[in-house]
Chains A and B, each alone.
Chain A
Amino acid sequence: MSETLTRTPRRSGPARRVGDVIFSGTSRASALLILVILAGVAIFLTVEALPVFASESEEITGGQGFVSYVWPLVAGTVVASIIAMVVATPIAVGIALFVSHYASRRVGQTIGFVIDLLAAVPSVVFGMWGMQVFAPKLVPVFGWLEENLGFLPFFADGSATGRTLLTAALVLAVMILPIITSVSREVFVQTPRLHEEAALALGATKWEMIRTAVIPFGTPGVIGGTMLGLGRALGETMAVAIILSPGPFTWNLIGTGNKTIPAEIALNFPEAAGLRLSELIAAGLVLFALTLAVNLIARWIVDRRSEFSGAN
């Protein structure tokens, strides 16, 4: 009794017991483990990639050093992802507006579920669909592009199979649609009701209300969601590996050629050994850095929004 009394002033929280120590210790350890895992990803990839940077440039695939090996891959990855982002963003914003401001609540929820489903379809299935169904459908479109826009370097020479970078980019667009949609929908829903009602009370039409109240409020969130989608597209592997028939980098988006980092790894990893293995892991490290940068920018934009948003 007296012991508890003397202890009371020192401890402000509830009594400390073995169970508490174990439980909080486990929680803290799990939390720290996450930091360890993330550090582990960076460290182990670097360690395994080191032989590439120590070796002669003739030994690297292509014979001209790691940089000239990896830049076409980076270029292909970035081009495909940016096309995907540009195509997906307006559509995703449209769907998000549809769900948040046009459809009824019930319909909106159903659509939300369907969009989540689209996000959950395995990428390998997207790849198979893209190659077997979507690519052949695009061949006449490529023919049309070549005929009418052939003077542009992007549409120089149409592929007969449709397995091109543009096809892969469009499938990527479908795949990143859900994430951009769900982030945009979340911020659109948070638009302060008073802003919307004020706009409507001034006689604005629905679109004018959206343009003056919803869009300005949601823009940072949409940009953040778009960047998250870009990050997803950069790292997407199987769909590109199946659809794209790989080749050296070319600006011609509708012809054979181009590779992306993840697809290059997936296609060559099972047979790789020795230095080739290190090369692919080093390419993976480049991809990791690329997606990390994009995601950090995305988070920064999304977090900045919460600082001066009216809803919070």
Chain B
Amino acid sequence: MSTPTKDRTPARRMDHELDHLSGIVPSPVRPAPRHLSLMVLGGAVLATLLIHTVLDRSLVLSAVIGYLLYVIGVNVAYRLTSGSRVATDHTMRALVYGAFVLAIIPLVSLLWTVVENGGARALSPDYLLQTMNGVTGVHDKAYAEDGAPMVGGAYHAIIGTLIITGIAALISIPIGLFTAIYLVEYGAKNRLSHAIRFMVDVMTGIPSIVAGLFAFALFGVLFGVGTKNGVAGAVALSVLMIPTVVRNSEEMLRIVPNELREASLALGVPKWRTIAKVVLPTAASGLASGITLAIARVIGETAPLLVAVGFTRVLNLNPVDGPMNNLALYAYYMFTRPLNPGYRDPSIERAWAAAVLLVICVIALNLLARLIAKFFAPKTGS
């Protein structure tokens, strides 16, 4: 068995091992009373409630103090009953659980905020079927003051999102899929495939706004400076999407058993038919789920479209002519530049409604990817 320590010099290895030994050998472990940590937890919860109600501190602050009390309490309790090693073990356990809870808080808060602020508006047919064409601050003022119905929705943004993401998918999926096929089926381990794998990694790290700038610069050179249209946005999204498609597809193609390829080739089937009829169908569910995840990644992108597509309030169905709109961009503009600066609420409500639609899209695509991977997976057992 080879371990990382094997590569080190003998002297350092000794130190390393001695260090670990000294950490493990000393104090013996005594059994702790059952449910000790639960008792401490109960105490900490009680303390939190006391601080919150009696001392009248905010819930967040009392929870933080309560958690710190819990960590300290666990440490002290186990140190007294079972010794320092068990105390460290339980303290670290408390910290690990704490890290997990800490990460869940923003997610819950975020989803709650989105649903609370935009949930009702997002599902109203007016919002889904109207554009912002002709809607001005006057309408918002009437809505806020006189209770007039809210006009203006995200229809154009929804359609724009579908068109731009669709074109991006049309560009990225073939390129990404064929690249993955090259890497797995043709490239084997030659230098080109090494270089491409490396470049795909590099591409994964391209900031989204740089992708937008690239599309803007490319279209500026090709069609005149300042060309902003849907296709430019789709090109920008493709730069972000291709590496994801390649990575996901490559992984999926790699796990197709070699026996299948060999069996097909042995029957005299040409290589391309082997790939098209044996390898791809076997990996189909994985490929589909990987592509779905790639779409989910770009559907909420704002920055590249802000740069490459521009912004409009009217419905534009033509991706090669003039700016379009997009849900993320719509949310951004509604949020930061309300139609009527004196009455910001209607605009902000529209922004949150767009956020609801985006989050629903993303969650739906993620679930879809899971379901595809689960239900259409090839039958195993050979």
Contacts and interface: CB of A to CB of B under 8 A. Distances in A.
Interface of A: 13-15, 17, 19-20, 22-24, 26-35, 37-38, 40-41, 44-45, 47-48, 90-95, 97-98, 102, 111, 113-118, 120-129, 131-134, 137, 174, 177, 181, 192, 194-195, 202-208, 210-212, 216-217, 228, 231-232, 234-238, 241-242, 262, 265-266, 269-270, 273, 280-281, 284, 287-288, 291-292, 294-296, 298-299, 308-310
A177 B214 CA distance: 28
A273 B226 CA distance: 8
Interface stretch (B2-10, B122-130, B144-152): B2-10
A90 B95 CA distance: 10
Main secondary structure of the interface of B (DSSP, over half): helix
Given A120-B300, A207-B92, A287-B209, A40 B178 contact: no
Contacts of B46: none
Contacts of A120: 296-297, 300, 362-363, 365-366
Nearest to B97: A98
A118 B97 contact: no
Contact of B24 (A92, A203, A206, A232): A203
26 contacts: A14-B271, A19-B270, A19-B273, A20-B270, A24-B272, A34-B196, A37-B239, A40-B218, A41-B206, A41-B214, A91-B102, A91-B103, A120-B362, A121-B362, A122-B359, A129-B110, A205-B85, A216-B5, A235-B206, A238-B328, A266-B307, A280-B213, A288-B207, A292-B202, A292-B205, A308-B6
Given A120-B366, A122-B362, A125-B359, 15 more contacts: A20-B272, A34-B246, A41-B206, A41-B210, A45-B213, A98-B96, A117-B366, A126-B110, A208-B23, A212-B23, A212-B24, A262-B209, A262-B303, A295-B205, A299-B202
Given A174-B106, A207-B89, A269-B307, A30 B182 contact: yes
A105 B203 CA distance: 33
Contact of A118 (B107, B199, B203, B242): B107
Main secondary structure of the interface of A (DSSP, over half): helix
A270 B178 CA distance: 36
Nearest to B198: A299
Nearest to A211: B23
A295 B213 contact: no
Contact of B307 (A90, A174, A192, A265): A265
